[in-house]
Amino acid sequence: MSELDMSTWERRDAYQYFSFFSNPFYMVSFRLDVSDLYRYTKARGLSFYAGMIWVCTEALNRVEAFHMTVRDGKPVRLPRRDPSFTALRPGAEQFHIVTMEHMDDMDAFCLTADRLSKTQDSFLDEEKESDQLIYYSCLPWIDLTAMTNERNLSAPGALDDSIPRLCWGKYTEENGRKTLGVSMEVNHRLIDGVHIGRFAEQFGEITSGLTK
């Protein structure tokens, strides 16, 4: 983690402007082509959900703005972000939350995520909670168009919450391509639409480069 020099930070004015908002969070929904990712995971017997988490985490970490967080009202740079995601065991209705470190290797990540999802015996490991995370969820029963997230805006430091939140629904197929709706919620003090656009570009580059 490293503190920024506010006198030279190009985002200083926008950061200060949105810091006066009582609710600086906003949500954007968009569709992503997951055809290549689907083929890759199915060919290797991997979880498509875990694959999505890996690709999204990798893509977010390639965009500098998503390394930023706010601590005690001051912007700082994180070395990376790690995933924290909801998981649902077969036949269950109550989800639990799995938090783990990101990995360079997608296959190893998917296998580890699957093992942790099946063996974790608590709802949440609070010791792993930090502002370095990305929160993920999935509604595979519906074609998701948008989703907001719960927040306690009355909590101390609530406006410093800079954890990106991503959710997606089930994929649909048209003309031989699979797409799904993704909803991303971010803090406008740090993230603009251009950064979300760069995330989507990185997602496409990563998935198109997957070895079939």
| Contact criterion met (CB below 8 Å) for 196 and 186 | yes
Strand partners, 177: 174
CA distance 194 to 146: 19
Q: Which of 183, 182, 186 is nearest to 164 (CA)?
A: 186
**pLDDT at site 183:** 98
What b/e readout covers 12-24, taking b as 16+ CB neighbours within 10 angstroms?
A: eeebeebbeeeeb
This model's pTM is above 0.75: yes
Looking at the domain covering 24-208, what would its CATH class be?
Answer: alpha beta
pLDDT at 65: 97
CA angle 3, 12, 163 (to 5 degrees): 60
What H or E segment, with its residue span, contains residue 56? Answer: helix 48-61
Q: In the predicted model, is pLDDT for residue 12 greater than 70?
A: yes
Angle (CA) 120-123-125 rounded to 5° is 75
Rounded distance between C-alpha atoms, residue 181 and residue 146, angstroms: 8
Domain ranges across the chain: 24-208
pLDDT of residue 212: 59
pLDDT (mean) for 16-29: 96
Judging by DSSP bridges, how do beta strands 177-187 and 25-33 pair with one another? antiparallel
